[in-house]
Amino acid sequence: MIGWIDAASGASGDMLLAALLDAGADEALLVEAVAAVAPEPVSLRSEQVRRGGLAARRTYVEVADSATHRGLGEVLSLIDAADLDEVVAGHAREVFTLLARAEAGVHGISPDAVSFHEIGALDAIADIVGVCAGFVALGLDAVHCGPVTVGSGRVSTRHGWLSVPAPAVAALLRGVPTAAGPVAAEMCTPTGAALLRHWVTDWGPQPLMAVQAVGTGAGSRDFPDHPNVVRLFVGTPAHVSSTRPPDRQAGQRAVTDTAVVYETNVDDLDPRLWPLVLQRLLDAGASDAWLVPIVMKKGRPAHTLSVLTRPDRAAAVRETIFTETSAIGLRELLVGKHALDRDFGSVQIQGQPISIKIARSGGAVVNVQPEYDDVVAAAVALNRPVKAVLAAAIAEAQRAWST
């Protein structure tokens, strides 16, 4: 299962909590997790509301008035002492630590010295622990998120009026796609930013997925021309398959999959590294990887690296490109992939086995191709030229699988 967050109206802790509940997270589990950590009575209540004409769930964290200011250490101690699922507790610790580090960086102090109302407030504790429990309950393997709307204008804080996005939000979302959006208000809170920063594994448009549930969480304000909601799409990674037309021969395929192609131009990588780069991309799950020599601006020689991969392996392939090469950006293309039915066989050349890839269209064999690594190994073992063993393997395969 994967999730995609539509943060076009920003995010806050209570909005994410409501979206998780609306997407199917067990409310009893979330209430139990919050109650286990809160040092004072806390309750969760939700109701259906409308935001900008859309139906949404609004969640309320109801706590008694409190002037208690807790620092990071005190909050972490509450989590450690709670009868809380360890996985949920671990995520909650990391979110609070992210939040404290962001505030510490803004004020130029140590995270341990951060002591302010927001991090110690019971509703913030409930939001963060509840959201962490919700994500764990849904069992998502990956969480994607679109650009985050942060808002504009000014917001009143205990430090006075600050420009939006607030400094802590700007710090937490550094490197993340963000935009001001259409509303002059604070659209993303520090708690929401910390939760997104921790849980989101990939930033960008909705991935190819079969959506099974959509949770819509409402913010506290209702803007007249913009629905103040965050949406959580939950589903499974998907492949696009086409229905075979009636006149198409059985066994012959049309567009059977959707694939992702990554491209990048590289002019500053030692060319001796490319063979290993291509192999590591294949090891990461790429279907194919190749280089094209090009000439860039100012006459510089370079290569275009192209990589074809399934959508479910795209994140791993993308990470390998950035890790193994000097690329700092990628072009991403979604393409349809045509593929014939294929299987493997084997032939013997003077006792040496060589695998054969067999491609069929409409049930008929249209191509046979020896595996080149097997050909080389056989040539070395037989002390024969590679070209001779290759020709013999092709001839033997064509006899065995005559078209």
Spatial separation of the C-alpha atoms in residues 18 and 45, rounded to whole Å: 10
The set of residues, in sequence order, having a beta carbon less than 8 Å from that of 109 and lying 6+ positions away, is: none
Residue with tokens 């699988």: 401
Whole-angstrom CA distances from 322 to 103, 205, 272 are: 30, 20, 17
% of the chain at pLDDT higher than 90: 60
234-268 confidence digits (pLDDT tens): 998 875 443 333 343 434 444 456 788 999 999 99
Please tell me the predicted confidence (pLDDT) of residue 240.
44
- Asked whether residue 68 carries a pLDDT value surpassing 90, the answer given is no
Residue in the block written with tokens 């290759």:
390
Query: Which CATH number describes the domain made up of 255-338?
Result: 3.30.70.1380
For 27, phi and psi rounded to 5 degrees? Answer: -60, -35
d(CA 7, CA 145): 7
Q: What per-residue confidence (pLDDT) applies to 243?
A: 38
- Please write the tens of the pLDDT for every residue from 51-61: 988 999 999 98
Domain residue spans of the chain = 2-237, 255-338, 341-400
Lowest mean pLDDT among 115-129, 183-197, 219-233: 115-129
- pLDDT higher than 70, residue 126: yes
**Per-residue pLDDT at 312:** 81
Give all strands of the β-sheet with 54-63 in edge-to-edge order.
42-51, 54-63, 209-218, 229-237, 2-6, 142-145, 202-203
pLDDT category at 154 given cuts 50, 70, 90 is confident
The pLDDT assigned to 120 comes to 54
The SS3 assignment for 299 reads helix
Number of residues written out for the chain:
403
- Reported as a pLDDT band with limits 50, 70 and 90, residue 174 is very high
Q: What is the pLDDT of residue 33?
A: 93
Section 102-118 average pLDDT: 68
| The pLDDT of residue 64 | 66
With beta carbons less than 8 A apart as the criterion, state whether 172 and 197 touch. yes
Helices (H), 211-310: 274-283
Is the confidence at residue 338, as pLDDT, over 50? yes
In order, the DSSP letters of 190-217 are HHHHHHHHHH-SEESSPPSEEEEEEEEE
User: What mean pLDDT comes out for the span 107-123?
Assistant: 64
Element containing residue 382 per DSSP (H, E): helix 372-382
User: Per mean pLDDT, which range of 26-40, 90-104, 106-120, 290-304 is the poorest?
Assistant: 106-120
Higher-scoring residue by pLDDT: 304, 337: 304
Q: What is the pLDDT of residue 248?
A: 39
Query: Using DSSP, how many helices (H) and how many strands (E) does the chain show?
Result: 12, 18
CA 382, CA 371: separation in Å to the nearest integer? Answer: 17
> Is the model more confident about 118 or about 81?
81
